[in-house]
């Protein structure tokens, strides 16, 4: 029997806009919302002419991160994603445009695949408009990779210090390069380690992401409800704190006379009583070593919904970081020192946006018409995919809960629902390549996460692969599937054997191309791709994950099917089934 959790929510699909409305409404003196997506929360007294704009962002569920750190002296804007999912490029662009004061924009976020992909795409788009852009991914989590691969580490509660220092540098009027250097310095001298005592549950599933015994704890978990690096028996607070502090102190090479800032961070369900026990032990350890605490914060600063647990973060200070840490700021979640609200200016910097390329014109008369998959039939196949993903979303989320943050089914369902809604505006003369572009834009805008950029890139590449076609025959169907794979590989960089969606898509494309070469028709090509994708998805269970959030689990990922590979199989299976049913029906008639 699956245990269900209880949450105070309305419709799950409305939780983020309702959350933003409530949060901004409660801090209307500090915050506002700008841009057509409604996902860019902007400081009323933050962006100003001649200042580097600071944009932070990530998934919801980490409150007060990220929008709680928007305000004067810190971040100018935050892009707000769905629960545990990166904001989309459109969300980030809204924030970037609002923060732009003519001196460039710095994007700051945690080092997760979805955030990297989405912020990178937004950086490319904002730069194409003429705005200088830099970006930085925080990598403070010791548990997620060894020191020699520290750039692969996750960003967890260390976001707090990196955001604070970069925001201060921008507030002081420093250049884009100097502000980026401040973020880099803070990240290099910041380390975190955490422990979870219980799982959290997504609002859409109301199911714990993983199971943990009453006497167990997860060591080294992230902030997305995923399991930790290893499981151990529950221990007293001092013992747990010693366990967290040892690698942090060692990696920072702390010695007597050094100065640090301390963050004892709750993950959502841990009481202040417990957190101060942890801080007490942190203080003892540092005092014994002769290490001075310059500043400290104890409480919920980067959470994981209702997860029980805590993390310890230390920032090793020098004169530069001390100046930035002490610089005044005023946000809903953090106030440092006295700060004077500037007088509103009569005018703001006028952004000069460079023109973007116009959409290519399609001349239908020049397109190849052989093949039985017409644009209308193609749309029907895509609707079948959406129906299948919706029906299997809970199953996919359960697969993801074992390896990651448990939201893959939810995320894919959001994306495909948006695709179907986009079909309502589809022109009857729209060809398959144009439909693919429509789908890519809808999926990317709705989803963010890692799936958004990957499937948007896949659909765009697939559309280009058949841009000379009105209908698809067997060869063109194989080209479309191969285009999907090419787009995923180009954007994501994963390879077969990494335990990702690629482990289903690559064999599917190879089988499709081979079937087309053998003279197979559209259904034969799809059937071959489906069977290969299914075998690839099940093969992924025996692999050790080396990409994405599940890569941090190492050997613990063996025995579990990758949810991305499974959803890839389900998509191709739905396309195959829809075409097969249509052909059977027409033959009967």
Sign of torsion over alpha carbons 485, 487, 488, 493: positive
Cα gap 464→483, rounded to integer Å: 8
pLDDT at position 437:
96
For the cut 60, the answer to whether the pLDDT of residue 450 exceeds it is: yes
Half-sphere exposure of 385 (CA within 13 A, CB side): 23
Q: What is the mean pLDDT of residues 409-430?
A: 92
The pLDDT confidence band at residue 242, using thresholds 50, 70 and 90, is very high
How far are the Cα atoms of 206, 354, 409, 478 from residue 6, in angstroms, in the given order?
A: 7, 49, 20, 46
How many residues are given for the chain? 589
For the chain, the maximum distance between any two Cα atoms, rounded to a whole number of angstroms, is 86
Q: Is the pLDDT of residue 589 over 50?
A: no
Tell me what pLDDT residue 403 has.
72
The C-alpha R_g of the chain, in whole angstroms, comes to 25
Tokens of 576: 């195959």
Q: HSE on the CB side for 346, CA within 13 Å? A: 0
Q: Sheet holding 133-138: strands in order across?
A: 31-34, 40-43, 77-83, 53-60, 105-110, 133-138
Please answer whether residues 108 and 46 qualify as being in contact, where contact means their C-beta atoms are separated by less than 8 angstroms. Answer: no
By annotation, the residues acting in catalysis are 224
The H or E element containing residue 312 is: strand 308-316
- E strands within 151-307? 190-198, 216-219, 230-233, 259-266, 292-299
Residue 583's contacts (CB-CB under 8 Å, 6 or more residues apart) are: 372, 523
| DSSP-derived secondary structure for 326-362 | HS-EE-SS-EES--PPPPPPS------PPP-PPPPP-
Res 228: pLDDT: 75
Going by the DSSP 8-state scheme, the letter that residue 552 receives in this structure is: G
Helix (H, G, I), strand (E, B) or coil at 574: helix
Predicted pLDDT at 549: 54
* For residue 482, pLDDT beyond 60: yes
Alpha-carbon distance 207 to 544, whole Å?
Answer: 25
What are the tens digits of pLDDT across the range 68-121?
999 999 999 999 999 999 999 999 999 999 999 999 999 999 999 899 999 999
- Is the distance from CB of 536 to CB of 507 less than 8 angstroms? yes
Q: Is it the case that residue 261 has pLDDT exceeding 50?
A: yes
Higher pLDDT, 132 or 365: 132
Q: What is the mean pLDDT of residues 443-470?
A: 92
- Is residue 343 over pLDDT 60? no
Q: What CA–CA distance (Å, rounded) separates 453 from 87?
A: 11
Show the domains of the chain with their CATH numbers. Answer: 12-336 (3.40.50.10440), 364-588 (1.25.40.340)
Q: ∠ CA 215-216-220 to the nearest 5 degrees?
A: 155
Helix H or strand E segment including 452: helix 451-465
The crossing angle, in degrees rounded to 10, of helices 159-171 and 319-326 is: 80
CA distance 23 to 68: 9
Asked whether the predicted pLDDT for residue 213 surpasses 90, the reply is no
d(CA 175, CA 106): 10
CB atoms within 10 A of CB 447: 32
501-to-86, 493, 498, 534 alpha-carbon distances in Å: 18, 12, 9, 11
Between 223 and 588, the higher pLDDT residue? 223
Low-confidence winner among 261-265, 336-340, 470-474, 524-528 (lowest mean pLDDT): 336-340
pLDDT tens, residue by residue, 20-79: 999 999 999 999 999 999 999 999 998 989 999 999 999 999 999 999 999 999 999 999
Pairing of strands 77-83, 259-266: unpaired
Which residues neighbour 266 within 8 Å (Cβ) at sequence distance 6 or greater?
A: 272, 274, 275, 299, 300, 301, 303, 309, 310
CB environment 6-44: b (16+ within 10 A), e (fewer): eeeeeebeebbeebbeebbeebeebbbbbbebebbbbbb
pLDDT for 477:
98
Which position has the higher pLDDT, 546 or 77? 77
DSSP-assigned states of every residue in 7-73:
---S-GGGHHHHHHHHHHHHTTTTEEEESTTS-EEEETTS--TTS-EEEEEEEESSTTTTGGGBSBT
- Average pLDDT value for the chain: 92
The proportion of the chain whose per-residue pLDDT surpasses 70, expressed as a percent, equals 94
Q: What is the pLDDT of residue 576?
A: 97
Q: Which of 212-216, 475-479, 542-546, 572-576 has the lowest mean pLDDT?
A: 542-546
How do 230-233 and 216-219 pair as beta strands? antiparallel
Highest mean pLDDT among 13-22, 205-214, 396-405, 448-457: 13-22
- 262 neighbors 299 (Cβ within 8 angstroms): no
210 Cα distance to chain centroid? 20
Determine which of 52-66, 317-331, 418-432 has the lowest per-residue pLDDT on average: 418-432
Rounded Cα–Cα distance for residues 159 and 435 (Å): 39
């Amino acid at each position: 029997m699956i245990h269900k959790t209880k949450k105070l929510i309305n419709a799950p699909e409305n939780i983020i806009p309702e959350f933003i409305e409530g949060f901004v409404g409660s801090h209307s003196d500090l915050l506002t919302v700008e841009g057509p997506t409604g996902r860019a929360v902007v400081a009323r007294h933050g962006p100003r002419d001649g200042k580097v704009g600071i944009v932070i962002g990530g998934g919801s569920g980490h409150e007060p991160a990220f929008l709680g750190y928007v305000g004067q002296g810190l971040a100018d804007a935050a892009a707000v994603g769905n629960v545990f999912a990166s904001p989309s490029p459109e969300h980030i662009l809204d924030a970037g445009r609002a923060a732009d004061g003519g001196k460039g924009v710095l994007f700051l976020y945690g080092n997760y695949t979805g955030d990297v992909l989405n912020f990178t795409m937004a950086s490319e788009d904002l730069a194409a408009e003429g705005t200088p852009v830099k970006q930085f991914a925080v990598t403070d989590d010791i548990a997620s990779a060894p020191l020699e691969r520290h750039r692969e580490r996750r960003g967890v509660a260390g976001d707090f210090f990196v955001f604070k220092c970069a925001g201060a540098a921008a507030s002081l009027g420093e250049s884009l390069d100097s502000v980026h250097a401040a973020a880099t310095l803070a990240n290099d001298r910041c380390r975190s380690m955490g422990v979870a005592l219980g799982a959290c549950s997504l609002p859409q599933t109301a199911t714990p992401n993983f199971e943990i015994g009453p006497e167990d704890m997860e060591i080294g978990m992230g902030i997305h409800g995923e399991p930790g690096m290893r499981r151990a028996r529950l221990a007293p607070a001092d013992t747990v704190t010693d366990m967290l502090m040892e690698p942090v102190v060692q990696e920072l090479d702390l010695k007597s006379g050094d100065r640090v800032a301390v963050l004892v961070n709750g993950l959502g369900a841990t009481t202040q009583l417990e957190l101060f026990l942890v801080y007490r032990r942190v203080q003892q350890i540092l005092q014994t070593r002769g290490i001075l605490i310059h500043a400290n914060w104890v409480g919920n600063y980067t959470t994981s919904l209702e997860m029980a647990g805590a993390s310890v973060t230390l920032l090793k200070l020098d004169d530069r970081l001390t100046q930035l840490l002490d610089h005044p700021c005023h946000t809903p979640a953090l106030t440092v020192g006295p700060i004077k609200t500037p007088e509103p200016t009569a005018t703001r910097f006028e952004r000069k946006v460079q023109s973007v390329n116009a959409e290519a014109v399609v001349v239908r008369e020049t397109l190849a018409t052989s093949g039985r998959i017409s644009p209308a039939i193609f749309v029907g196949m895509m609707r079948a995919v959406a129906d299948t993903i919706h029906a299997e979303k809970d199953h996919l989320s359960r697969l993801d809960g074992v390896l990651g943050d448990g939201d893959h089914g939810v995320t894919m369902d959001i994306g495909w629902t948006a695709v179907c809604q986009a079909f309502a505006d589809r022109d009857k003369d729209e060809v398959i390549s144009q439909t693919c572009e429509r789908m890519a834009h809808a999926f990317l805008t709705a989803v963010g996460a890692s799936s958004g950029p990957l499937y948007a890139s896949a659909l765009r590449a697939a559309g280009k692969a058949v841009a000379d076609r009105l209908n698809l025959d067997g060869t063109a169907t194989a080209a479309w599937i191969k285009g999907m794979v090419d787009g995923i590989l180009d954007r994501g960089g994963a390879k077969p054997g990494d335990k990702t969606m690629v482990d289903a898509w690559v064999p599917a494309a190879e089988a499709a191309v081979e079937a087309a070469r053998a003279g197979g028709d559209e259904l034969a090509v799809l059937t071959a791709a489906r069977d290969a994708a299914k075998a690839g998805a099940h093969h992924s269970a025996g692999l050790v994950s080396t990409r994405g959030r599940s890569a941090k689990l190492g050997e613990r990922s063996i025995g579990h099917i990758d949810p991305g590979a499974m959803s890839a199989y389900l998509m191709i299976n739905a396309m195959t089934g829809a075409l097969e049913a249509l052909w059977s029906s027409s033959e009967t008639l």
